[in-house]
Amino acid sequence: MSSLRHGLYLPPFGPFGDPAALVELAVRAEAAGWDGVFLWDHVVPGAPPIADPWTTLAAIAQATSTILLGPMVTPPARRRPWVLARQASTVSRLSGGRLVLGTGLGSDETGDFSRFGEPLGPRSAKFDEALAIVRAVWSGTEVHHRGDHFHVDLDAAAPEPHPIPVWTAMSTDHPRVLARATTSDGIFPLAGPHPPAPEELSRLVTATRPADRPFDVAVAGNASPAWNHPPTIDLDALTAAGMTWWLESLIHFDPLDLSMEVVDAGPPLP
């Protein structure tokens, strides 16, 4: 029996910009046998309106009981890490430990950085420093941090009651990206509009997966037969290459009714 898990991956804008619609989608996804619902994190929509991912995830956490959920992906370089740590902690506790924190450098495709005067240059260094702060806050240890981008002083507190897995999005195989991925709990290859070929995925898994602990490998794309033009994706080959999660991608320019049909059809079988 395959251990592959199936999630939904979608932007909280356009047809999904109504948070009530996203909560309904998540409830229907749980009923249809999906294992997770993951939301993009943007502040400028590709198509209005737009819902805040963290507020929406909190509502989904209260309306569901089994599915995993989280931002896929949030850019720590665009967020204050202590606020991100508290947001993640809150959703984790609301959901009873079902949160996955997907992280990445963040895109400026719609102006999430440039429209607010956020510099793009130091994203990688800010990412690493911010995520280290997030993990320190979760640990409950006393934090006195003086870095290039952030200063933090926090007293010791109780650690998080639930582990919060961190997945790293990868758009390149740069050594710094690979090193970052090896310290996370999973990877999410995002090199283009299509899933990586099985041989490419296998290479990334070999370069990043640690031998001493669980490690997830999430791949996004379209494989559901419920689409008007059903795609052909070899899920078996991707699973053999190391994939542990298939994320069915719902896009904001598709009609909401069609997306809900894909949700109600349940996970695609290999």
Instruction: Please tell me the distance from the alpha carbon of residue 114 to that of residue 134, in angstroms, as a whole number.
Output: 24
Q: Report whether 3 contacts 244 (CB < 8 A).
A: yes
pLDDT digits (tens, 9 = 90+) for 23-37: 999 999 999 999 999
Distance, in Å, from the CA atom of 68 to the CA atom of 102, rounded to the nearest integer, reads 12
Determine the pLDDT at residue 1: 43
Residues of the chain with pLDDT under 50: 1
- Identify the pLDDT of residue 191: 74
Report pLDDT for 19: 98
Question: Domain spans of the chain?
Answer: 5-265
The CATH fold assigned to 5-265 is: TIM Barrel (3.20.20)
- pLDDT (tens digit per residue) in 242-266: 999 999 999 999 999 999 999 999 9
Determine the pLDDT at residue 2: 64
Q: 118 pairs with which residues across the strands?
A: none
Distances (CA, A) of 73 to 108, 142, 250: 13, 28, 15
SS3 at position 189: strand
Q: β-strands 216-221, 186-189: how paired?
A: parallel
